Structure 1
């Protein structure tokens, strides 16, 4: 298997972007807080972007010096030593790594570089949708940093990071394509496993096995099955003690597959009809496909993310349908996201719940540019039945690049 890797040229490009962010923001240092390792969906990992190393660090750039990596324990250091013994090309020198992912560690680095005053940019003080609507920086850690360095003006720089990193390099696009191909392999395996009498867990396991065999260590999946439903999320048996549902003839299986390779993510919307499904599912598939095609037509430089959202919404509005989850959002990094959930109030049960509000579209002003990656996930509820399809799309110089046309349609289980 030909597996893409990152070069030191890619490292230098990214470190140069860090310094461009610092210059644009007028700061003398940049602190990148990384979410803990083993995070599930949409991890917040600007630390890995700059280290190409194990997730869960704080990375600090001070003026023109090489970055310092603060790890949470000795375990990442042991991994670094082992990688050096294997002759792997690492980005951070051992002398720049410390077991000090805490407030005292951050303060020590800034004081060593005489940054007790002035401006410092921070990644971790901005919201990071869709899951981190509030900033991810730990309250206790950050309060202690503020108390120790009252003369420093810390400012969020999340938007600058988004704009600097959202257009992928050629090396990054190679990694994205590898991830996307794995998503197709997962979808194919899931179709093979989708049979009456099999369980949701069987289908889930088939997809995950395909990913693991291709060397993806952190795939994930949302999955539901039944004759029709409007729910969306991880299987109930993954968080509630109950048996996985057994698939029946006439069911539809809806899944969202997440592939992450080299911390670049692709997403794949897998819809599998098991036998003859309800007519509303078939209609929903046509509406979702129309939204997908409308999105492709709008996914061009010169348009904005808001233009893309409106194009994909139009077929749903014409059909009187609504979307359970976003129709589209950015990847690598996450950021602008299409609004969703407004139709939930149509359900008769909705009146029994407390405050219900839809998530609005965020980042509609983002101009589309070549190298941006998007999760196209058009979904349409017809009656009480959801249909969802799509995959990862790259903005090209002229036309968009579909990485997953396989899953941009309603798939059929094979008898």
Structure 2
């Protein structure tokens, strides 16, 4: 049973701080309004949800700030309204007043709000017109919705403001850090449950289920995990049986289980890299684990104010370069929100089968100029391939005033089943 007294919640002061951020973005860009388009609810990993950032409510809305007025929330159906009613009956502390919620998540609803505030010739910022990696390399705004808005409001100047939003929200408040800490603890609980479940003869699905159950029992959303097992591999992604009809693999002695666990609490995300050896691991696995650990420690040494994200990524790449190893996915990237990311993909050229494929894409480090500042959160996920076998480890790290704060040192090493 969860003790409600130990679960962090957001105050109205946090709401006012976030609404103040929206108005600071508007002032900095010379805007009369700000539109925050949110991805549909039930989005899986890395959702685009600036709407929920401003509402602290069910995601999947469009939120519009007009001048100094309170924001208007446009929902997709009556279901969020019904939830809002029940939350009021329970006495939950809500941020958006009933009169500011409309079932109008479409172009006509956006146009109506802007016209009500006489902004037919205004300057309007938009969250949803910028790329949002890793999954939205192209802007997420629906073509039909936005085409209709442009047709109805030809006099409005619309400006993408994704970069300003990232800079304004990437340093977490004390309340947000408490929420992130709760999520991080749940991630450790997931890793421990997965370790306990891992043994020869156990199926991948049983390990997956053990981790997910641990998160759910703590009231934390676990939207999924990436998981592979075997004596050695270079793949990285969700288990094949989660998208292809086939039986989950059964663990054997000498296997390793590699997983990336995602936790989300209060729409704040932590990530946890779980590496489990079943019995005695291969010598290449041990070597890869040492390199990945060296990368993790190099990242901790560089994760300080005064350095840039590029400095951090370069420091974490150095142990791999020194050992002639390569990484199958980023070594580090920002969280809350996602943005700057360490490069990856170049090492695939070493794999003989790679030449059989069409165009391959190597991602360079992006956002290297971002200065590190206290309150920023990062997914440390150093990984190294040695002899065709990868080890991935790490967790969530917070930039402190001086030294970084490791939220998940438990998963920053190779675990032994």
Calculate the TM-score normalised by the size of structure 1. 0.99
Does residue 1:330 correspond to 2:339, yes or no? no
Q: Which residue of 2 aligns with 1:88?
A: 92
Q: Which residue of 2 aligns with 1:179?
A: 183
Matches within 5 A, 1:105-116: 105-116=109-120
Q: Which residue of 2 aligns with 1:130?
A: 134
User: How much does 1:54 deviate?
Assistant: 0.1
Does residue 1:265 correspond to 2:284, yes or no? no
* Equivalent pair of 1:376/1:392 in contact (CA under 8 Å): yes
Could you tell me how far apart the structure 2 residues matched to 1:55 and 1:281 are? Answer: 41
Q: What is the CA deviation profile of residues 152-183 of structure 1, one whole-angstrom value per residue up to 9, with x for unaligned ones? A: 01010001000100000000000000000000
User: How much does 1:219 deviate?
Assistant: 3.5
Q: What is the CA deviation profile of residues 350-396 of structure 1, one whole-angstrom value per residue up to 9, with x for unaligned ones? A: 11100012111110000000000000000000010010000000000
Calculate the TM-score normalised by the size of structure 2. 0.99
Q: Which residue of 2 aligns with 1:353?
A: 357
Listed as ranges, the gaps of 5+ residues in structure 1 are none
Q: Which residue of 2 aligns with 1:285?
A: 289
Q: Which residue of 1 aligns with 2:239?
A: 235
Q: Which residue of 2 aligns with 1:382?
A: 386
Q: What is the CA deviation profile of residues 312-356 of structure 1, one whole-angstrom value per residue up to 9, with x for unaligned ones? A: 000000010111000000000000001111101110001110001
Could you tell me how far apart the structure 1 residues matched to 2:227 and 2:386 are? Answer: 19
Q: What secondary structure is seen at the aligned counterpart in 1 of 2:341?
A: coil
Does residue 1:249 correspond to 2:222, yes or no? no
Could you tell me how far apart the structure 2 residues matched to 1:43 and 1:252 are? Answer: 29
Q: Which residue of 2 aligns with 1:396?
A: 400
Q: What secondary structure is seen at the aligned counterpart in 2 of 1:177?
A: helix
Q: Which residue of 1 aligns with 2:162?
A: 158
Task: Count residues in correspondence.
Answer: 413
Could you tell me how far apart the structure 1 residues matched to 2:130 and 2:258 are? Answer: 32
Q: What is the CA deviation profile of residues 255-278 of structure 1, one whole-angstrom value per residue up to 9, with x for unaligned ones? A: 000000000000000000000111
Does residue 1:170 correspond to 2:185, yes or no? no
Matches within 5 A, 1:41-56: 41-56=45-60
Q: Which residue of 1 aligns with 2:413?
A: 409
User: How much does 1:309 deviate?
Assistant: 0.3
Q: Which residue of 2 aligns with 1:217?
A: 221
Matches within 5 A, 1:288-303: 288-303=292-307
Q: What is the CA deviation profile of residues 279-331 of structure 1, one whole-angstrom value per residue up to 9, with x for unaligned ones? A: 10000000000000000000000000000000000000001011100000000
Q: Which residue of 2 aligns with 1:38?
A: 42
Q: Which residue of 1 aligns with 2:19?
A: 15
Could you tell me how far apart the structure 1 residues matched to 2:82 and 2:25 are? Answer: 31
Could you tell me how far apart the structure 2 residues matched to 1:121 and 1:361 are? Answer: 27
Could you tell me how far apart the structure 2 residues matched to 1:248 and 1:77 are? Answer: 50
Could you tell me how far apart the structure 1 residues matched to 2:222 and 2:285 are? Answer: 31
* Equivalent pair of 2:133/2:339 in contact (CA under 8 Å): yes
Could you tell me how far apart the structure 2 residues matched to 1:188 and 1:242 are? Answer: 27
Could you tell me how far apart the structure 2 residues matched to 1:335 and 1:129 are? Answer: 6
Q: Which residue of 1 aligns with 2:30?
A: 26
* Equivalent pair of 1:254/1:388 in contact (CA under 8 Å): yes
* Equivalent pair of 1:295/1:309 in contact (CA under 8 Å): yes
1:316 alignment partner, one of 301, 304, 320: 320
Could you tell me how far apart the structure 2 residues matched to 1:132 and 1:317 are? Answer: 30
Over the aligned positions, Cα root-mean-square deviation in angstroms equals 0.5
Could you tell me how far apart the structure 1 residues matched to 2:259 and 2:310 are? Answer: 26
Moved over 2 A (4+): none
Q: What secondary structure is seen at the aligned counterpart in 1 of 2:221?
A: coil
Q: What secondary structure is seen at the aligned counterpart in 1 of 2:258?
A: strand
Q: What secondary structure is seen at the aligned counterpart in 1 of 2:199?
A: coil
User: How much does 1:118 deviate?
Assistant: 2.0
Q: What secondary structure is seen at the aligned counterpart in 2 of 1:380?
A: strand
